[in-house]
Amino acid sequence: MSAPRRVFIVEDQRLIAADLANTLRRLGYDVVGSAASGEEAVEAAPGARPELVLMDIRLQGPMDGIAAAGELLRRIDVPVVYLTAYADEETIRRAKLTGPFGYVVKPFNERELRAGIEVALYKHDTERLLAEERARREAAEEFQLLVHSAQGHSIIRLEPGGRVASWNVGAERLTGYRAEEALGRHVEVFYAPEDVVAGAPRRDLERAAREGRAEREGWRVRRDGARVWTSAALTALRDPDGRLRGFAEVTRDLTERRRREEHRQLLDQVTLALTRSLDDDDALRRAADLLVPALAGCCLVHLVDAEGRLARTIAAHPDPALAAALATTTAHGWDADARGPARAVRTRRPERHPEAGAAPDAVGAGHAALLRALEATAYVAAPIATPDRAYGALTLVRVGPATAYDDEELALVEELARRAALALDNARLYREAREAIRARDEFLQVASHELKTPLTPLLLQLDTLAVALRRGDGQDERLAAKVDVAARQTLRLDRLVDSLLDVARITGGRLELQPEEADLVTVVREVVERFQAEARRAGCELALRARAPVRGRWDRLRLEQVASNLLSNAIKYGQGRPVEVAVDEAGGVARLTVADGGIGIDEEGQRRIFSRFERAASARHYGGLGLGLFITRCIVEAHAGTIAVSSRPGEGATFTVQLPTEGGAA
Q: Splitting the chain (666 residues) into consecutive groups of 10 residues, what average pLDDT does each group show?
A: 85 87 91 90 90 87 86 88 72 72 79 85 86 74 57 85 91 92 94 94 95 94 93 92 92 91 93 90 93 91 84 88 77 55 89 60 51 78 92 89 85 94 90 76 61 62 67 64 65 59 64 87 92 89 91 90 90 89 92 92 87 63 67 89 92 94 68
pLDDT at res. 193? 94
- Is the preceding omega at residue 320 within 30 degrees of 0, hence cis? no
The predicted pLDDT at position 440 comes to 66
Q: Are the CB atoms for 432 and 406 separated by under 8 Å?
A: no
Query: CA torsion, points 290, 292, 294, 296, in degrees to nearest 10?
Result: 140
**How is domain 6-130 classified at the CATH fold level?**
Rossmann fold (3.40.50)
DSSP-assigned beta bridge partners for residue 389 = 386
Architecture of the domain delimited by 510-660:
2-Layer Sandwich (3.30)
What is the domain partition of the chain in residue ranges?
6-130, 150-253, 262-430, 510-660
What pLDDT does 356 receive?
44
Does the fold of domain 150-253 match that of domain 6-130?
no
Q: Which fold has domain 150-253?
A: Beta-Lactamase (3.30.450)
Q: Are strands 52-56 and 80-84 parallel, antiparallel or unpaired?
A: parallel
Q: What is the DSSP string of 353-392?
A: ETTSTT-HHHH-HHHHHHHHHHTEEEEEEEEEEETTEEEE
pLDDT for the residue numbered 56:
87
From the candidate CATH numbers 3.40.50.720, 3.40.50.880, 3.90.1150.10, 3.30.450.40, the one assigned to the domain spanning 262-430 = 3.30.450.40
* pLDDT at residue 458, as a whole number: 63
How far is residue 66's CA from residue 58's CA, in Å, rounded to a whole number?
A: 8
Q: What global pTM score does this model have? A: 0.53
Is 214 exposed, middle or buried, given 0-12, 13-18 or 19+ CB atoms closer than 10 A? Answer: buried
